[in-house]
Amino acid sequence: MKFQQYIIENLEITDAGAEGKAVAKHEGMTVFVSGVVPGDIIDALVVKKKKTYAEARCQRIVKPSPHRIQPPCEHFGTCGGCKWQMLDYQQQLFYKQKQVTDNFQHLGHFPYPEPQPILASENQYFYRNKLEFTFTHQRWLSVEDMQKQQNGESVEIRGLGFHVPSKFDKVLDIDKCWLQPDPSNAIRLAVKQFAIDRDLPFYNLRTHEGLLRNLIIRMSTTGELMVILVVTDLNAQSRSVLEMLAEKFPEITSLQYVVNTKMNDSVGDQTFHVFKDEAFMMEKMGDLDFKVGPASFYQTNAHQAFHLYSVAKEFAAVTAEDVVYDLYTGTGTIANFVARDAKKVVGIEYVEAAIEDAKVNSQINGIGNTEFYAGDMAKVLTPDFVAAHGAPDIVITDPPRNGMHPDVVEQLLLMAPKRIVYVSCNPATQARDLTLLSEKYEVKKIQPVDMFPHTQHVENVVLLEII
């Protein structure tokens, strides 16, 4: 029998859940609702129901939460980038801290101390140093746009913006984004208008036809600015866009292009061509300089990354006698951050290009006691590797969202360093891994850090000491 949607009236939202959804309880069932905040009382339309939970949409806010605020972004609600913009920032921090304790309590099986108060982000808006926009020949149309079309009015359907959540071929045209500082918005708007005025072919995400595909903007805290235009061909039309950017925005310090004819938008495996000035930009963290290439990973909230790494460094308490392993080292940011205090730092990372960046970053800063190796962590970190490079006194690990491979956890237990500092972007998988490590390690300190305001994401740093 086909499920019949129904409405729950006066449903009180009591908690924040995963993926930016909020949580309510109704007749013993958990109800997940998007677009609302704890404290809201709503009429909810149930669109899916399982044995223990349901998913619903807000039909009407009966009584708004005292913590609900007016989102500044005009695209809020359609763009999926800042799902918590309507929630007071202090409440965002409260629920991020709660996310850590809830995961540790429900998924972890180990004793732990009270987490320290979460470190708030210095900037609540305009904090990202990298954004990627997508060209579309037919943008996502609002109800107002469709009404205009029905009335015979002309509506510009080409756009440059973000993918609408769960719709690979739908792009929301963006007027002003609150995630990246100026001149990001001005650059995007200038490129879009220039292309529309000259009738340049915007990319069709279904037929894979068109010239203009993506626009990537990266900026550093030092004021350097990288712009990358992704096209399907370098011809007179695409070159004209690059020439316009070079002329209109002299503050661009690295102007590049990529010719991507693949079926997907990823460009990490493509060749980056310099059109003007440098092939990289320089970033600074503390007293260290980092060379950031177009494909380099660098924490997208650079100001807050300094605080995150400072916590990791403090927890590690590295001395001149210590050998440090930095697992999932990326471009060696943490490795170089602690290297001057250590005897030696060994960094391991899956992405070979990132390892090359890590080596360059050590050279730039005159650091000679780092070693970097590329490969699958579970295959590289073996007893033979440890025998060849020396057993670590301290391990810093910053794995991806799915956490550490069981073989890596097993090797950590075999190496038995005196301290492990575990940096995580997913407290759920972190709790799982800490449970496995608890046979030899005790959790001593927990420090949540907010890297991404207006999202549900939270970073968490844990200090473990051998029992």
Question: What are the boundaries of each domain within the chain?
Answer: 1-67, 94-123+301-466, 130-285
Look at residue 171 in the predicted model and tell me its pLDDT: 95
Q: For residue 454, what pLDDT band results from cuts at 50, 70 and 90?
A: very high
Q: pLDDT digit string (tens) for 55-75?
A: 999 999 999 999 999 999 999
Q: For residue 169, what pLDDT band results from cuts at 50, 70 and 90?
A: confident
Q: pLDDT digit string (tens) for 370-407?
A: 999 999 999 999 999 999 999 999 999 999 999 999 99
Phi and psi for 180 in degrees, rounded to 5? -125, 135
Q: What angle do CA 291, 295, 299 make, to 5 degrees?
A: 65
Average pLDDT estimate for 153-167? 92
- The strands making up 323-327's β-sheet, listed across from edge to edge, are 370-374, 344-349, 323-327, 394-397, 419-424, 459-466, 441-449
Q: For residue 297, what pLDDT band results from cuts at 50, 70 and 90?
A: confident
| Residue tagged 């007027």 (tokens) | 175
Average pLDDT estimate for 172-193? 98
Q: Which class is 1-67 in CATH?
A: mainly beta
Phi and psi for 177 in degrees, rounded to 5? -100, 135
With residue 409 as reference, give the H or E element that holds it.
helix 406-415
Tell me, yes or no, if the two domains 1-67 and 94-123+301-466 fold the same way: no
Q: pLDDT digit string (tens) for 321-358?
A: 999 999 999 999 999 999 999 999 999 999 888 899 99
Q: With a cut of 90, say whether residue 259 has pLDDT above it.
A: yes
Cβ contacts of 185 within 8 Å, gap of 6 or more: 175, 176, 177
Share of the chain above pLDDT 70, in %: 100
Residue 58 annotated among the catalytic residues of the structure:
no
Q: Across all residues in the chain, what is the average pLDDT?
A: 95
Q: What is the CATH number of domain 94-123+301-466?
A: 3.40.50.150
Average pLDDT estimate for 245-272? 96
Question: Would you say the C-alpha torsion 261, 267, 270, 272 has a positive or negative sign?
Answer: positive
Question: Would you say the C-alpha torsion 390, 392, 395, 399 has a positive or negative sign?
Answer: positive
Q: How far apart are CA 360 and CA 425, in angstroms?
A: 26
Q: What is the pTM of this model?
A: 0.93
List residues bridging with 134 in a β-sheet. Answer: 161, 214
Q: What is the CATH number of domain 130-285?
A: 2.40.50.1070
Phi and psi for 352 in degrees, rounded to 5? -65, -40
Q: Which of 58, 73, 82, 425 is catalytic?
A: 425
Q: With a cut of 80, say whether residue 19 has pLDDT above it.
A: no
- How many C-beta atoms lie closer than 10 Å to residue 1's C-beta? 3
Look at residue 168 in the predicted model and tell me its pLDDT: 81
Q: For the CA atoms of the chain, what is the radius of gyration?
A: 24
Q: With a cut of 90, say whether residue 17 has pLDDT above it.
A: no
Q: How far apart are CA 372 and CA 178, in angstroms?
A: 37
Question: Would you say the C-alpha torsion 99, 120, 447, 401 has a positive or negative sign?
Answer: positive
Q: For residue 465, what pLDDT band results from cuts at 50, 70 and 90?
A: very high
